[in-house]
Structure 1
Amino acid sequence: QGWKSLIVTTLIVAVSLFVVVVNLSEKPYFLLQPVFGQSLSGHLFKPPYRADKPHPGYLSIPKQEPLKLHCELCSVVSSSGQMLGQGLGAEIDRSPCIWRMNNALTRGFEADVGRRTTLRVVSHTSVPLILQKPQYFLGQSNDTVYDGKGIVYNMLKQAAENYPHARIYVTTEERMNHCDTVFKKETGKDRIQSGSYLSTGWFTLILAMDMCKEIHVYGMINDTYCKSDGYRKVPYHYYEAGSRDECAEYVMHESAPYGGHRFITEKSVFAKWAKTHPIKFFNPPWQLS
């Protein structure tokens, strides 16, 4: 009952939280220092890949050590229903680093999404879902990285103590402000004034561009997909059968006056980044002009 009360309070107090699940049984990778404060068309997403330079934007719990992670190739697997029925699991599992988001399950969906997870990014609203199945998400097969502050921080610190194979990191306030700044520079809109929340996908792509030399994104639709003729109607999450339609969810969030994710706007920014950074989109493929 104590955990339940903490979880409820978390949703009220937490500002932003991410869970990164790292499988330490694989080859270790090292995160490299990004170049801050430069134009988006310049070196912001082209960091020098130096294995001796840790990332200052993510600090471990409880030791407050910076995260070190670098992957030659990262496969970012979307939680979208676009993953269903495509049989890409084996291809994804061949990737050196496999990133997933929030509480996206692999069990029961291996043929389409793969079995392996190298790293997982989780928003603060999904942390209670992760902690409902700690053995699955925090067990020895999935050593984990988390971030949070206040009550959330204490919850994750306790989780780290209960699952010593997990690695947990908190996103610094400076890093969160940096992600807000990127959104404003790319869209011309202040995130807070426009009443929006950055999606987990937004933070994941920025994180990946710091840590990955090449990025393959699976199951993410582009900004015009929902307006195309005969688009594929799929559930918002592949692991939630019968859940709300993905495009309906996107349109609802894009037009929400306050508290919505700007999924469509974010996808247009991702397309721009892909022109200057080695990012490729699969299932469905993106046509980048």
Structure 2
Amino acid sequence: MEGARPNPPCDPGAPRPPQPRGIKMLVRVFFVLVCAAALSVFYVLLCREAVGQRDGSAYTAPAALSLQGYSRVPDGKPLRRAPCRRCAVVSSSGQMLGSHLGRAIDGQECVLRMNHAPTAGFEEDVGTRSTVRVVSHTSVPLLLRNQPYFFQQSRDTVYVIWGPSRKMSREKGSPTYRALLKVLEMYPYLQLYTLTEEKMEYCDDVFQNETGKNRVKSGSFLSTGWFTMILAMELCEHICVFGMVSDSYCREKNHSSVPYHYFEKGRLDECRMYLVHEKAPRAGHRFITEKTIFSRWAKRKDIIFTHPSWAGG
């Protein structure tokens, strides 16, 4: 009709002149590129907003710690890694059975385990991740029996081995140390560390300062849990201990009966083992005494105990 205004170009109902197919394709490609660029800029700004400011100051990644007393096999360099903000220390106790804590454990930034405690078959209760595994010299043969599981599948795990000089000395070529060298020949990517003699003496001194008793003269052996807690306090800002009972637990009348290790069902009873060792005149792990000390440490460090839950102090 004469005098009628044509439909505006942004009106979705307006008829559009036919365009060559090639031009349509170029327009679509250009539109996709523009959208992708806009999303990339938005993502960068969002990430910068999330990590660029904390408490009003610019955020910087934590510097790597150099943990003295943990000596790399075979070159002797100290353990270096970034500190962990949140750590799970996973007990090998039968308390873990039926806990359904696997997801909570794996949700922590770092996970510390002990000796040869497996995760396979117990994932729902203990999780799957292992950042650090602290191992007694007496448990090294148990790791060697299942090398594919511990050393081939767990490439990201740091292994920290402790033991007396007669078993661990580099200079004297002690048996456990020689075994570790052979493991490295087969799995050269492994991160293997041993405690130095000075670190072992330091751990003895901490025990004496806390108890007033000389470890050797009192016939006491430190447990792997002791060395794990000391390492955790050096490495972690916040520590959540899973499956460790309090020092009074085994003296309670209605305490539950669980296996000493969650992966050895029907074997030793945990509390019976603790009480026997606590009273042993020599060669005894002072499990209950150690837990009393851990409780004191929880007043100075950010440590909580769960399943069973109890307060440090």
TM (norm. structure 1) is: 0.81
**Separation in 2 of the partners of 1:261 and 1:252?**
9
* Letter in structure 1 aligned against 2:85: E
> Any stretches of 5+ residues in structure 1 without a counterpart?
1-48
Aligned to 1:34: none
Q: Is the 8 A contact 1:139 1:165 kept in 2?
A: no
Residues 138 and 104 (structure 1), Cα distance of their counterparts in 2 relative to 1, 3 Å cut: same
Q: How many equivalent residue pairs?
A: 241
- Check if 1:61 corresponds to 2:73: yes
Deviation, structure 1 residue 287: 2.8
Which residues of 2 match residues 225-264 of structure 1 at below 5 A?
A: 225-264=249-288
Q: Is the 8 A contact 1:117 1:142 kept in 2?
A: no
- Find the structure with the greater CA-based Rg: 2
**Separation in 1 of the partners of 2:62 and 2:219?**
38
Aligned to 2:143: 130
- Check if 1:119 corresponds to 2:143: no
**Separation in 2 of the partners of 1:98 and 1:52?**
18
**Separation in 2 of the partners of 1:50 and 1:93?**
21
SS across alignment from 1:63: coil
Aligned to 1:145: 159
Aligned to 2:38: none
Deviation, structure 1 residue 59: 1.0
Q: Is the 8 A contact 2:70 2:160 kept in 1?
A: no
Deviation, structure 1 residue 146: 4.2
**Separation in 1 of the partners of 2:259 and 2:78?**
37
- Check if 1:159 corresponds to 2:183: yes
Residues 81 and 115 (structure 1), Cα distance of their counterparts in 2 relative to 1, 3 Å cut: same
SS across alignment from 2:261: coil
Which residues of 2 match residues 195-214 of structure 1 at below 5 A?
A: 195-214=219-238
**Separation in 2 of the partners of 1:146 and 1:278?**
23
TM (norm. structure 2) is: 0.74
Which residues of 2 match residues 28-43 of structure 1 at below 5 A?
A: none
Aligned to 2:301: 277
**Separation in 2 of the partners of 1:66 and 1:288?**
31
Residues 160 and 255 (structure 1), Cα distance of their counterparts in 2 relative to 1, 3 Å cut: same
* Letter in structure 2 aligned against 1:106: T
**Separation in 2 of the partners of 1:131 and 1:244?**
23
Deviations 1:117-144 (A, max 9, x none): 1110010110100000011111143444
Deviation, structure 1 residue 104: 0.3
SS across alignment from 1:204: helix
Deviation, structure 1 residue 269: 0.3
Deviations 1:141-186 (A, max 9, x none): 3444244332211110110121122111121111000000000000
**Separation in 2 of the partners of 1:260 and 1:130?**
23
**Separation in 1 of the partners of 2:110 and 2:202?**
25
**Separation in 1 of the partners of 2:233 and 2:154?**
26
**Separation in 1 of the partners of 2:154 and 2:312?**
37
Q: Which has more helix, going by share of residues? A: 2
Q: 1:90 aligns with which of 103, 125, 136?
A: 103
**Separation in 1 of the partners of 2:76 and 2:307?**
38
* Letter in structure 2 aligned against 1:122: V
**Separation in 1 of the partners of 2:197 and 2:282?**
22
**Separation in 2 of the partners of 1:120 and 1:99?**
6
- With a CA cutoff of 8 Å and minimum separation of 6, indicate the structure with the bigger relative contact order: 1
**Separation in 1 of the partners of 2:257 and 2:94?**
8
**Separation in 2 of the partners of 1:200 and 1:259?**
14
Q: 1:217 aligns with which of 241, 259, 272?
A: 241
**Separation in 2 of the partners of 1:287 and 1:270?**
10
Deviation above 6 Å: which 4+ runs of structure 1? Answer: none
SS across alignment from 1:271: helix
